[in-house]
Structures are given as structure tokens and as C-alpha cells.
A and B are shown apart, each in its own frame.
Chain A
Amino acid sequence: MYAFDIERPTTIADAAKALSGEAQALGGGQTLIPTLKARLADPGTLVSLSGISEMQGVCMSDAGEVCIGGGTTHATVAAEATAYPALAETASHIGDPAVRNRGTIGGSLANNDPSACYPAAALASGATIITNAREIAADDYFQGMFTTALDEGEIITEVRFPVPEKANYQKFVQPASRFALVGVYVAKYADGVRVAVTGASEEGVFRWTEAEAALTSNFSAEALDGLSVSADGMIGDLHGSADYRAHLVKVMTGRAVSAAA
């Protein structure tokens, strides 16, 4: 680790000010601290977001959306997002207890790891990512592996999830890291079904639109018969070939549909 200074603002405004210079936001540190330990980053100043109470907690908006503060830990989401059970369930399977007690939804979405779980949940739910500066639709937010619409120093303050009729996330774990080797989040809304896939593509999280169309007209695993996912652009590594991942996308989608509640 390189030496760094740390600031602990208590308001979003102060945090934004602190982040305007050479500084980096620190959420739960579950990604950033290992990166620092490996000396892969040298941020100079870290701005901890964990003391900002307006970024904490789970509530319901008047429009019936589940609103999660950007600094809310996975454990809190798992325990408190009861109005959106599939989301709470997803949070309860991220990492291990230590990771869930520290890691935050804002950190996870800002990082946009191609194998992370929340990006699939946010994209499949058509969530809105609220920052200190603007509101970004999930469809515009994810821009490829580790790349998002966020500007330098922009803070995710809240994430709003419309609650679907039914949803489910199926995570097929990579045996070592237990991130998603392939994870599929299926959410059924009154106006259609959304299917988001994580872990599989070199472009990061993506929507499987053919499956969405098929499931919108018939929300059952059989609706996927005859569909297939191309292995082009899929990740191939020690843990699975591109073909294998493409195959798993369909299997996990079917399972998510069957399990959706």
C-alpha cells in the first residue's frame, strides 16, 4: 500500500467537494483496499463515504420503488429490502459475511466488475442510479467491463429499483472467487420481462433481448427452447470456455424463470 490521506465527510456535499481534487471515493473497501494493498492504485487521498448518513439505508419511494442509499451494505440490503425479495436474496449471496458487512451497493455499481451481482440486478430491474449530479437509467449506466457513465469524482448516492411482479437471480459461481461465472437476473414487470447477464461477456453485464421477448409473451422456461446465445464475445478462461459460458446463460435463465417469485 502507498501512503494516503483519508477524509471522512458527513454530507454528500462535503464528499463531492473532497472528491473534486486528486482523491478517490472509499465505499466498503472490499475492492479498493485489496487493490491498494497490491499497489495497483495510488489515490493520494481517500474520501470515505461510510460516515454519510443520507447515503445509508433502504426505504420506499412514493412511486413504490425500493430506494437504497449508495453507502448501504450488502448485509443491510439482504436484511431490509424485504419489499423486493429477489434483490435481498441476491445481496445475501454476495461474497462472505465480512464482504457483505462492509461492501456497498454504490461501490459495487461504481466498480462494475464484469462478474459482479448487483449490475445484473440493476440492469434487469431497470433501476435508476442517482448521483450527486444526476439520475442515470441503468440502460445508460453500464458501459463495459469496469466502465460506467460516472464522471470522475461523481458519487452514487442512491439506487432506485422498481419492484417487479416476479424476479430471481441465478448465480453459477466461479469455483475460486465465487463471483458469478455466469449470473442471470430475470425480472418480470407488467410491461415486459428483463433479463440481465453478468460474468459471461467481455463487454460486461448485458441484456439478453431475445429471451426477454420470448419470456414477455410466455413467462416459462420452455419459452427459451430454441433460443441460443452465441459464444462470440464471451469470456473464456481457466474456469470455463466461451462456449460453456454461452450455454450456462441459457441454463441459468431457465432456472431463474422457474424460480422467480
Chain B
Amino acid sequence: MPKDGGIGAATPRREDVRFLTGNGKYTDDINVRGQAYVHFLRSDIAHAKINGIDTSEAEKMDGVIRVFTGADFEAVGSIPCGWQVTDRHGEAMQEPRHPVLAHGKVRHVGDPICAIVAETYEAARDAAEAIDLDLEELPAVVDMKEAVKDGAPKVHDELTSNLCYDWGFVEDNRAAVDEAIKNAHHVTTLELVNNRLVANPMEPRVAVGDYDRSDEEHTLYTTSQNPHVIRLLMGAFVLGIPEHKLRVVAPDVGGGFGTKIFHYAEEAFVTFAAKELNRPVKWTASRSEAFMSDAHGRDHITKIELALDKDNNFTALRTETYANMGAYLSTFAPSVPTWLHGTLMAGNYKTPLIYVNVKAVFTNTVPVDAYRGAGRPEATFQLERVVDKAARELGVDPIALRRQNFITEFPYATPVAVEYDTGDYNATMDKLTEIADLSGFEARRKESEARGKLRGLGLNCYIEACGIAPSNLVGQLGARAGLYDAATVRVNATGSISVMVGAHSHGQGHETAFPQVVADMIGIDASQIDIVHGDTARTPFGMGTYGSRSLAVCGSAMVKATEKIINKAKKIAAHLLEASDEDIELADGQFTVAGTDKSVAWGDVTLAAYVPHNYPLEDIEPGLEETAFYDPANFTYPSGAYACEVEVDPDTGKVTIERFAAADDFGNIINPMIVSGQVHGGLAQGIGQALLENCAYDEDGQILSASYMDYAMPRADDVPFYSVDHSCQTPCTHNPLGVKGCGEAGAIGSPPSVVNAVLDALNAAGHDVPHLDMPLTPSKVWDAMNKGA
């Protein structure tokens, strides 16, 4: 049984009290005395030459402080890209300059052209209307395959083409894969689109820049998932501010889903302008701005081929993907379709030969980068769709086909360069069969049919990779940062503890789960422990939260720091108990001399550390504070099996999700309630991608779904009551907690099962529909039934 409030306890989230009572402190709640407001005048044309910008009228208007244009930033660095991919031929990717404000050209709808700083937002917006822009419209490139053709208009004139890179992985396997596919008994081919999404965190982005002339220190308050990364990128590469003069604070953040990882131009702008104007400058995005300036997600076009032998064993896999980068390279954009996607193409299967080709393409669209799952949903979707399609083509049971090809021995080195440490894919499939009540499906199908509805069952497996590391490896792969994390455990004199972490919580519940670990290790109540995060001035240099890394990486650093604390505390206890260090045991917050009833409480030891009257000063320093950095040896590999049951209304094409079951293996679990919540949220986003969400562009580069009138977010009644289970646990072998990460699984694992279920419903009703691209809107499904796919 889990200890109260310790590891394994379903402790309610303590941060929710402040969030649900309106006491959260978000970036927009921060107002610095004397602040001015900036409004960005953004391009409403996808691609144009800037022939002139006349700001003279705007500058004369009431309340206007100054109007900035691209020319003001010529001496300032480019918004950097944090990952350099090397292409098939050993060449570095093409990396264009990304100015803070557009200079020379605008390259997507939403590209900021001018920044108007004024006494009020309204004054800044009024002034924006008085700016005279002379934009010469150029043909826009929106379609990726058109963009890479010879003679296509170039997004960046200084590059040789719109091709950012042409990546082959593993290039040495290419010929063998081609050969295996040529000679295969059966090849299943699938062409698909992984739809472009807008992350839509509830809180739009906000940035406040402040500059203190007395100590020449900059402060940036921003909606970020990783304040240290922003300080590094913006300080070192854009504005040239040394770390000790730049503080980045990311207070409560209302959801990130990846889109708040990246360093954005608006952050650099407010930081720069605050010094330039000697006034704090604040920017709050409107929802409309979020649609055209937050990095988007997904947007791949893929062809995948799966080869099978006569016994239905997978023998080879080949994929070719076009990945949209948008108009500029967002911070981690190049890594998403490559190292977060190609490396996952083995999935749960022992396919011996795999080759992945990815062409990353510049287009006149909003930059695309990591969004919940980042690369792994794209890998999972195509693989689990092609496996399902193969099962249908061969007339075999899709579960049996999967089981037959499962990896069953660990560690397992895939042909795509990663080594899975643990897993048990049959166990999660067994669990899924049980919780999804698969044996009851046929009866439910009949019951639906009696009501005139088509019922379908779809399932899939997934594997994902969390806590991307180790740093020396990712450095070889092109990362321009390390991927360790850090924690400082500060024990106070009376025994309470502050843990300063490099991870950042923006919905994940760190403030509850992290203390559970420390409480368990020491044996004190979790209420004695607080987490401090989101401020470079208060936390050690960690890399933030994304890629389901926080507990596996930062949590491990916290464990190591806590171990150091315990070791030192034992020495103090030994002194107080006049015993030797090795004989001291810690349990339930009491240090005991082994085999005796002599003991001293945690609080007495911590007090002695800070009031060292009776203390081994000659051997150890006073105080009780330790920092640890942790760089993982490998990724962690959560996995699972998901099942979805849908009903399709044959008259309207409307799909409703009747049941959804998720059996996950996240290794050890610290707080099962938080884990379930993370899975629920991920499932909602995955279902959103599968049925509802789509960021559509027209051929001129205008966003057709740029507001909630046209961009469909999943609502509560779009999703069913989920059945989730995480009792299958194969602990990670290389981190001290044995944890794997659970934040993205739901979004990675759910789209294929939804699509598989809809196709099952249609095919069972006699419609021959081999594939449909997401989102499966009623009109698309109806068209497929009535006009063919």
C-alpha cells in the first residue's frame, strides 16, 4: 500500500485550489509599474515584398511612444533554431534568418511587420491602422510538393530552394529495404496526410519585458514551458545579454502542449524595447493572434509501405514524408520529423529493415514545431494505420497480426538506432482486451445496427520515447542544447523543504507529484515540501518541460539531490546519536541506530544543520542544501494499446465515440490520479485531431480556420467516458524512479484507433474505404459512403 502522500498515492492536486479559485498568477496578471503596451501589426498577406513602411502618421498619434520596424533589428540576432539536422548527403540543413520583425519580405499571414508601443493597447491598435504599408504581393507556396518543384517561388531568396533538408534514416539500410520490398510476398501501401493543428492552450501567449537601469538587469516574464532555455536562446543568440543580467520568469502557465517551448520574436521584442524605451513593455496575444503566431503542429504528407512474408511477418518498412516547417525554423522544428519520428518507426514490432526519408519544406505558412507528442504521433499514426490496412488486405485479425510481430525480448535494439530497455506489449494488449470488453463488441454492433447505426472497432499499439537524452548523443544528432535537468533540495531549519526544479509545470501537477517522491524518501508529510519552478533566478539551470520528460529527468535529479541530503543528514544524526554513520537508518522521518531504540527526529537533525551547536563542524559543513544534475542514459519507452468504438450515422456521416479504452505501461507511477488525468487530456487532443481539428490554408496562404468559428476544438460531449488502466508496469531500467513519462501518450496513441474504428464501421457496412484523412468530419465520412473515398 502506498504511504499517505508518498509514492503511489492518488493525492489530489494541490495547485488546483489556486487555479479553481481564480488565484493563479499568470503572466497577464503581472503588471509592472509604468508599463507600456505593444501591438504587433501583422501581415495579412502570405508572401510579399516590403517596398515601404510609412509610420509617420502613426507616430504622431496620441499615446504612441514609438513604432519599431524590421530596420530597428538589423543589428540584432536571428531568432535561433535549436537543432541542426544533417541531410542524407552529410550536408547541414538550410537555415534561413528569422528576424524579430519582418525585414525585406513577409513570409506568412501573421508575420509581424511593425511593433507599436503606446500608453494603451487601444492607442497602439489605432496607430497600427495609420501605418501605410507598401506590400508587393508575391506568389505564395503553400502545398509542400509544389514548394519543392523547380521554379517554385522561394520563401527565402537567399536559400537554394524551399527544401530545408532531405533526411535519410538509416541511410545505410536504404538499398536493403528497397530490395526487401521488391521481393516481398505482400506489400501494403498507404498515402496519408497528418493534419496541421493549432495547439490552442487556454492561455494565449503573453510577454512582459522590464529593464532595471540601476543594475542593468533585464527581466522577461513570459508564458514559457522552459524559462532557462528562453534565457539561453534569447540572451546568447538574439540580444547578446549575458545570463547574469537576464532573468526569465514563467509563472503559472495555462497550458503549453509544446507551443510554449519555443523562443518567439515577441519575447525578444519586449526585452529589447524595455531597455530601448526605458519602460516596461507588455504584450498579450489575442486568440486571433495565437492562431497566426503560435507554432502549429503536425502537417506531414506521408507514403508508407509495409512488406510482409507469406507468414505475415513484417519484413521491411519504408516511409517517405514531407514535413512542413512553415516560413521559418521554429526552435525545435527540424528535430520533430527526424529524431522524434524516424527513430520511432519500428513501433512495437520487430521489423528488421526500416528506411525513413523526410523532406522538410519551407512554405508561406505559420512555423510548425512540436505539439503534444511531436513526431511520435505522426510515426504511430502511419504505422498503426498501415498495419490495420495490411490486416484488412490479408484478411487476418488485426490483433493477431500485431501480436505475431511484437517485440518480446528486451533490451531490443531497433533498426532505427534506439534501444528499448523494457516493455511488455502482450501484457498491455491483454489488459486492453479486458478493459475494452472486446468480446462484447459483436453484441454491441448488433445493438447499434438495430438502431440504424454503423458500429466500428479500431485499435492500435504505440511506443513512444520520452526524456530525450543523453546529451552527448543528442549533441551528435544536432541538438544545440543539453537535455539533462537539475534540482536543488533546500531543507529549512525546521525540516520543511523547498525543491527548486528546472522542470516547469503548466498543467502536469508537478507541485503535487514531485513532493510525493521526496516525502516518500524521507518519510515526512508531503505538505512539508514545496516545489519552486519557473524562474531562472530561483531555480538551477534545467531544461524545462516537454516530451514527457519532467519526472524521468528532473525527477531523477531531485532524487539524486535528496539522496545527498539524506546522506548528509545521516552523518549529522550519527553525531547526535553518538553512533557511526553506517549504523543510521532513516524511516518515517526518524533516524535510528540500527538494532537499538535510539533515534532522533528529522526536524532535530535539520535544526542542528542550521544551529550547529552540537555538530561535527570539523567533518561536514553546516546547512542542508544540495543540487544534482541528471543526464539520462537513454530515452524511456512508454507503450500501450488503445481501442476505440464508434458509431457512424449513415444518414449524416456523423461519428460518435461510444467507448475508448487505453491500457498504458508507464513504468512506476507516482500519482495514479494525475497519470489518469494526463491520459484523459491526451486522449481528448488525439480525438480532436482525428475527428475535429484542422488548420486549413487556401492556396494563397490564408488560414481558413483562424478562429473558433471554424477551428473545431474537442468539447466535453465530443469524448466518451474513458476506460484507462496503467497497471501494466515494466519499470524503466535506467532512472532511479523507474518512471517513463505519461504526458503525451494519449495524444500519440489515440488517432489511429479512432480512424481504424471509423473505417471498420464503413467497411463492415459494405463500403470499400481503404483510408480517410483526418479529421473525419461528418461531410467527409458521408462523402466516403456516397461517393467513394
- B263 CB to closest chain A CB (Å) equals 29
* A241–B784 alpha-carbon span in the complex (Å): 13
What residues of B have a CB within 8 angstroms of the CB of A177 in the complex? Answer: 708-710
| Residue from B696, B704, B777 within 8 A of A175 (CB atoms) | B777
**Count of A-B residue pairs with CB < 8 Å:** 50
Interface: B599 (CB within 8 A): no
Interface: B26 (CB within 8 A): no
Contact B652 A248 (CB under 8 A): yes
| Residue from A3, A176, A239 within 8 A of B708 (CB atoms) | A176
* A172–B692 alpha-carbon span in the complex (Å): 15
Interface: B122 (CB within 8 A): yes
| Contact bitstring B110-137, A, C-beta under 8 A = 1, else 0 | 0000000000001001100100000000
What residues of A have a CB within 8 angstroms of the CB of B710 in the complex? Answer: 176-177, 238-239
Given A238-B704, A238-B705, A240-B779 in contact, is the A175-B692 Cβ separation under 8 Å? yes
Interface: A214 (CB within 8 A): no
Contact B125 A244 (CB under 8 A): no
Given A241-B783, A251-B651, A251-B652 in contact, is the A176-B778 Cβ separation under 8 Å? no
Q: Write the chain A residue with the least CB distance to B713.
A: A176
**Interface-centre pick from B704, B777, B779, B783 (highest chain A CB count, 10 A):** B779
What residues of B have a CB within 8 angstroms of the CB of A239 in the complex? Answer: 710, 777, 779
Interface: A1 (CB within 8 A): yes
| Residue from A2, A38, A176, A247 within 8 A of B782 (CB atoms) | A247
Contact B122 A3 (CB under 8 A): yes
- A200 CB to closest chain B CB (Å) equals 12
- B127 CB to closest chain A CB (Å) equals 13
| Contact bitstring A222-244, B, C-beta under 8 A = 1, else 0 | 00000000000000001111001
What residues of A have a CB within 8 angstroms of the CB of B777 in the complex? Answer: 175, 239-240
What residues of A have a CB within 8 angstroms of the CB of B125 in the complex? Answer: 39
Given A176-B712, A239-B777 in contact, is the A1-B122 Cβ separation under 8 Å? yes
Interface: B711 (CB within 8 A): yes
Interface: B288 (CB within 8 A): yes
* A239–B781 alpha-carbon span in the complex (Å): 12
- Which secondary structure characterizes the binding site on chain A? loop
* A172–B709 alpha-carbon span in the complex (Å): 15
Q: Write the chain B residue with the least CB distance to A176.
A: B712
Number of residues from A at the complex interface, CB < 8 A: 18
* A3–B122 alpha-carbon span in the complex (Å): 9
* A39–B127 alpha-carbon span in the complex (Å): 13
* Interface size of B as a range: 20 to 34
Contact A240 B778 (CB under 8 A): yes
Contact B122 A244 (CB under 8 A): no
| Contact bitstring A167-178, B, C-beta under 8 A = 1, else 0 | 000001001110
- A42 CB to closest chain B CB (Å) equals 11
| Residue from B288, B651, B692 within 8 A of A38 (CB atoms) | B288
What residues of B have a CB within 8 angstroms of the CB of A241 in the complex? Answer: 779, 783
8 Å CB interface, B377-419 against A: none
What residues of A have a CB within 8 angstroms of the CB of B786 in the complex? Answer: 247
8 Å CB interface, B74-130 against A: 122, 125-126, 129
8 Å CB interface, A160-190 against B: 172, 175-177, 181
Q: Write the chain A residue with the least CB distance to B649.
A: A251
8 Å CB interface, A21-52 against B: 38-39
* A50–B125 alpha-carbon span in the complex (Å): 29
Given A38-B288, A39-B125, A251-B651 in contact, is the A176-B709 Cβ separation under 8 Å? yes
Contact B652 A172 (CB under 8 A): yes
* A239–B705 alpha-carbon span in the complex (Å): 10
What residues of B have a CB within 8 angstroms of the CB of A172 in the complex? Answer: 652, 654, 778
- B787 CB to closest chain A CB (Å) equals 8
* A132–B125 alpha-carbon span in the complex (Å): 37
What residues of A have a CB within 8 angstroms of the CB of B129 in the complex? Answer: 39
* A39–B286 alpha-carbon span in the complex (Å): 13
* A227–B237 alpha-carbon span in the complex (Å): 67
What residues of B have a CB within 8 angstroms of the CB of A244 in the complex? Answer: 653, 778-779, 782-783
| Contact bitstring A60-76, B, C-beta under 8 A = 1, else 0 | 00000000000000000
- A191 CB to closest chain B CB (Å) equals 30
What residues of A have a CB within 8 angstroms of the CB of B696 in the complex? Answer: 238
Q: Write the chain B residue with the least CB distance to A175.
A: B712
What residues of B have a CB within 8 angstroms of the CB of A3 in the complex? Answer: 122
8 Å CB interface, B764-785 against A: 777-779, 782-783
- A182 CB to closest chain B CB (Å) equals 9
Q: Write the chain B residue with the least CB distance to A38.
A: B288
* A238–B778 alpha-carbon span in the complex (Å): 11
Contact A176 B705 (CB under 8 A): yes
| Contact bitstring B642-662, A, C-beta under 8 A = 1, else 0 | 000000000111100000000
- A250 CB to closest chain B CB (Å) equals 9
Q: Write the chain A residue with the least CB distance to B692.
A: A175
* A181–B288 alpha-carbon span in the complex (Å): 23
* A197–B696 alpha-carbon span in the complex (Å): 28
* A172–B653 alpha-carbon span in the complex (Å): 11
What residues of A have a CB within 8 angstroms of the CB of B694 in the complex? Answer: 238
* A241–B779 alpha-carbon span in the complex (Å): 7
* A176–B122 alpha-carbon span in the complex (Å): 29
- A181 CB to closest chain B CB (Å) equals 8
Q: Write the chain B residue with the least CB distance to A172.
A: B652
What residues of A have a CB within 8 angstroms of the CB of B692 in the complex? Answer: 175-176
Q: Write the chain B residue with the least CB distance to A39.
A: B125
8 Å CB interface, B703-732 against A: 704-705, 708-713
8 Å CB interface, B121-157 against A: 122, 125-126, 129
What residues of B have a CB within 8 angstroms of the CB of A176 in the complex? Answer: 692, 705, 708-713
**Interface-centre pick from B654, B692, B782 (highest chain A CB count, 10 A):** B782
Chain A residues packing against B (C-beta within 8 Å): 1-3, 38-39, 172, 175-177, 181, 238-241, 244, 247-248, 251
Q: A39-B125, A175-B692, A177-B708 are in contact. List 8 more A-B contacts (CB 8 A).
A: A2-B122, A176-B705, A176-B711, A238-B710, A240-B778, A241-B779, A241-B783, A244-B653
28 of the cross-chain contacts (CB-CB < 8 Å) are A1-B122, A2-B122, A172-B654, A175-B712, A175-B777, A175-B778, A176-B692, A176-B705, A176-B709, A176-B710, A176-B711, A176-B712, A176-B713, A177-B708, A177-B709, A177-B710, A181-B778, A238-B694, A238-B704, A238-B705, A239-B710, A239-B777, A239-B779, A244-B778, A244-B782, A247-B786, A248-B652, A251-B652
User: Sorted from nearest, which 5 A-B pairs have the closest CB atoms?
Assistant: A176-B712, A240-B779, A175-B712, A244-B779, A177-B709
